[in-house]
Chains A and B, each alone.
Chain A
Amino acid sequence: MTAIAPGFAAEAHGVVKRFGPIEVLHGVDIAIPVGDARAIVGRNGAGKSTLVSLLTGIHSPNAGEIRLAGQPAPAQGDRRAWRERVACVYQRWMVIPHLTVAENLLLNNQPARAGLVSWRSVRDRAMAALADWELDVSPDLEAWRLTVEQRQIVEIARALLQGSRFIILDEPTAELERKEVNRLFDRIRALQDAGVTFLYISHHLEEIYEICRTVTVMRDGDVVADAPLDELPRDALVAAMVGPGVATGRRQSRPVSDAPVKTGLEIRDLALGDDIEGFNLSVAAGECVGLAGLAGSGKDRIAEAVAGLAVPKAGTISIFGQPAPLGSVAAMRAAGVGYVARDRHVRGLFPQMSVGENLVTTILERLGRLGLISSAKQAATVNDQIRTLGIVATSGEQRISELSGGNQQKAMVGRALASSPRVLVLDAPTQGVDVASKEALYGIIDAAKARGMAVLLVSDDLDELSICDRVAVIFRGRITRSFARDWKEHDMVAAIEGLY
């Protein structure tokens, strides 16, 4: 691109971004004209968030140029200049919980003389903004009392009060109810009519067709498509996101026998949080069922309910026909549930402890009496586990943080298996793991199935889902589609993203 046309709210030219040795953006070009409503879509890891962090000045590119409103982007530390040009409503809360709504609306932007804040003007301006937005809350309310919807409106209104005419919305609807989404969209449309430019990031493709005019598709750190939405039908959009990969679930592993099988895990009429109601799912002994969905779809919370971490409002969970006591991890484990939480770094590993100690945390009571742990018994159990799981470690004494991600993850699965469960719940078990370890983990899952365990695999990773005997897709708390073994990636992605 040689000449830079005026009239663009934001442009990136040949932008490269590396984090350490890993290049996440390989020369991205994007140009968003003033008044556009642009969607950026892509699977996890496509580089959407990185691009947003460059467009909002949180990070600066290693190569290439960012321009805002036709001007080169401000210096990275100059937050004020950035804020005037671009505002971002993040998924995380960006209000200050114990300050009032009025002050949050005018955060670091209070009308002031010689540094002294005029609270009268703060309130007046806040009330005018609240009236404009028809938001029925007192400006004196502390922000932590706001609902998710109100909080988002406060953040958007704040962006506009800072003078920005270009707003980035990062998955704004992830936590909203449908009618709240509609109200948000009405407001976005009104702002679009008033000339505000939007960049909209969402996994919910149906929303993009509702609210956006153009779309940029990213895949593996590149822009792979850039088109008006009315020229890009849904099939083509999903195809661009998925890429020219192979189709269908590849791993036609062991055939399921025709013999009648027992039901291993049965979830009945489960109600959880505000959005999951009457949820049913069953997994037979020796079967692996995938539960696929976006972050926030409810898939992780269902796994937590089976593990005893989340307390359901209603419903039953039965393990091989026996209703299990809900809401207690110890009771669920005693009932026969083994659980591997997603994100081992946050919810799994004890990084300072040895491989062995990490493996036996769930079964300490079996290793000795009166709470005392027999080190001989522990060593025997640990060595046994390391051998059967194929964990590559110098010994059970090695610190687990020294292991590769794949071997750490094997240890996490090993911990779940240590209590000899009959139902195994795995949440994103191969996340951040190399290909060889992935295969090894799949082997461990296959072995568990062969021993008659019921396996529930919660994931949004197509590769993981491909080892499942069947896959249920959950969208906003409801199962919207089920797949037998031979699904196509394209259909699976469309279902996960909410395009049925």
Chain B
Amino acid sequence: MSSVSQNTAPMRRSSFASRMKLRDLVLIPVIGLVMIIGSFVSPSFLLPENLLNVLQQSSELSILVIAQSLILICGKFDLSLESTVGLAPMLAAWLMISDTSIGGSGIGINGYAGIGVALLTGLVVGLINGLLVVKLRLNAFITTLAMLILLRGMTLGITNGQTLFDLPEPFLYLGTAKWAGVPASIWIAGVLFLLFGLFMRYHRTGRAIYAIGGNAEAARVAGIPVERITIGVFVVGSLLAALAGLLLTGRIASVMAGQGQNMIFYVFAAAVIGGISLNGGQGRMIGALTGVLLLGLLQNVLTLSSVAAFWIDACYGAIILLALIVTRLTGDAPQN
């Protein structure tokens, strides 16, 4: 035992560095580089208002990235998150608006009940996905793809494709409020990253999620309730997506039928660039956060730059590919 205690000290000292592996921090210099480039591209880039704007616009995406990261680490997929971003606030808005001529239901529930409806919608969607994937053993990719199409269609169908305005104040609060001069959605996204980062690192259930994604059979043998936790992860993921939908609705003070559309691609891009493995069991919230920040800053720099508007998406896609290649070359294990 004495030899052990001798070994402990030097290993402890290096343990933070070894815990914060290269892979999780590899994007930080890249983010720095983008910021330097940004400051040359436009003098307004480094202004606090602009940076806060970037953070606020990234806040919904980042909440979805937390959700997808949880699910990916557990070894599954959820494509339907982006449609929950639309459906959850749409359903709530429809129930809240009492004027049927502008697409409301005429029921007119209040704003707090609306928040409850939105979150409940997320919970139900997640539960259905979880049950289908875990209990019926359907493939997660195709199940949630079908769910994506279904929910997107429901969002359109509820209001015949209309955008809903005139939402009660409590419903918009989280997306519009500022706390200490900083938009509430940034606080919320930041706190969620911190909480989920700590949860995944320090809570036994968080560790169990890594174990399930790494080797579900071994996890089962080790006594981890694999099915229950996997369903739970789908539920929490969809709840987060509903929350993201709520924030987005507040920010733009309306719900569009196409709300959340195409977000899922950026969600996957941010998570994978941030080191979350598509094969499960690997990656950290801190890495996912750097992935989101990088994408948000890139988009802002491209918008501020003189790149023709119609070419921004192409540049964005090329840079995501480049980021994937760079992170693959600096990371230790391949994506498959």
Contacts and interface: CB of A to CB of B under 8 A. Distances in A.
Interface string B1-19: 1011001100110010011
B271 interface: no
Interface in A118-173: 119, 123-124, 127-128, 131, 138-140, 144
Interface in A43-91: 79-80, 82-83, 88, 90
B146 interface: no
A138 B18 CA distance: 11
A275 to B, nearest CB: 26
A79 B202 contact: no
Contacts of B178: none
A19 to B, nearest CB: 19
B211 interface: yes
A79 B221 contact: yes
A117 B218 contact: no
A99 B203 contact: no
A115 B203 contact: yes
A98 B207 contact: no
Interface in B307-336: 333
Contacts of B220: 79
B219 A97 contact: no
A95 interface: yes
A96 B204 contact: no
A140 B333 CA distance: 16
B223 A79 contact: yes
B218 A94 contact: yes
Nearest to A96: B214
Contact of A131 (B3, B207, B282, B333): B3
Contacts of A144: 333
B4 A127 contact: yes
A54 to B, nearest CB: 15
Most chain A Cβ neighbours within 10 Å, of B203, B218, B277:
B218
Contact of A128 (B1, B18, B281): B1
A88 B15 CA distance: 31
A117 B215 contact: no
Helix, strand, loop or mixed for chain B's interface?
A: helix
A109 B4 CA distance: 21
Nearest to A110: B204
A117 B223 contact: no
A112 B204 contact: yes
B288 to A, nearest CB: 15
A107 interface: yes
A127 B7 contact: yes
A75 to B, nearest CB: 13
A493 to B, nearest CB: 32
A94 B221 contact: yes
Nearest to A124: B8
A259 interface: no
Contacts of B8: 123-124, 127
A98 B214 contact: yes
B81 to A, nearest CB: 24
B142 interface: no
Nearest to A117: B202
Interface residues of B, number: 33
B218 A96 contact: yes
A96 B1 contact: no
A108 interface: yes
B240 interface: no
Nearest to B2: A131
A315 to B, nearest CB: 30
B281 A97 contact: yes
B210 interface: yes
Contacts of A124: 8
A95 B215 contact: yes
A83 B222 contact: yes
A387 interface: no
A117 B217 CA distance: 22
A140 B207 contact: no
Given A108-B224, A131-B3, A131-B4, A99 B219 contact: no
Given A115-B205, A117-B204, A140 B222 contact: no
A130 to B, nearest CB: 8
A99 B18 contact: no
A116 B205 CA distance: 9
B140 to A, nearest CB: 19
Contact of B219 (A96, A123, A139): A96
B219 A108 contact: yes
Given A108-B211, A131-B4, A123 B218 contact: no
Interface in B208-257: 208, 210-211, 214-215, 217-224
Contacts of B223: 79-80, 82-83, 108
A92 B207 CA distance: 22
A423 to B, nearest CB: 35
A128 B221 contact: no
Contacts of B3: 131
Contacts of B219: 96, 107-108
19 contacts: A82-B223, A83-B222, A92-B217, A94-B218, A95-B215, A96-B214, A96-B215, A96-B218, A96-B281, A98-B333, A107-B211, A107-B218, A108-B207, A108-B222, A110-B204, A124-B8, A127-B8, A128-B1, A139-B11
Given A97-B215, A117-B201, 8 more contacts: A96-B219, A98-B214, A103-B207, A108-B222, A112-B204, A123-B15, A124-B8, A127-B8
Interface of A: 79-80, 82-83, 88, 90, 92-99, 103, 107-110, 112, 115-117, 119, 123-124, 127-128, 131, 138-140, 144
Top 8 A-B pairs, shortest CB-CB distance: A79-B223, A96-B214, A94-B218, A108-B222, A98-B282, A131-B4, A107-B222, A80-B223
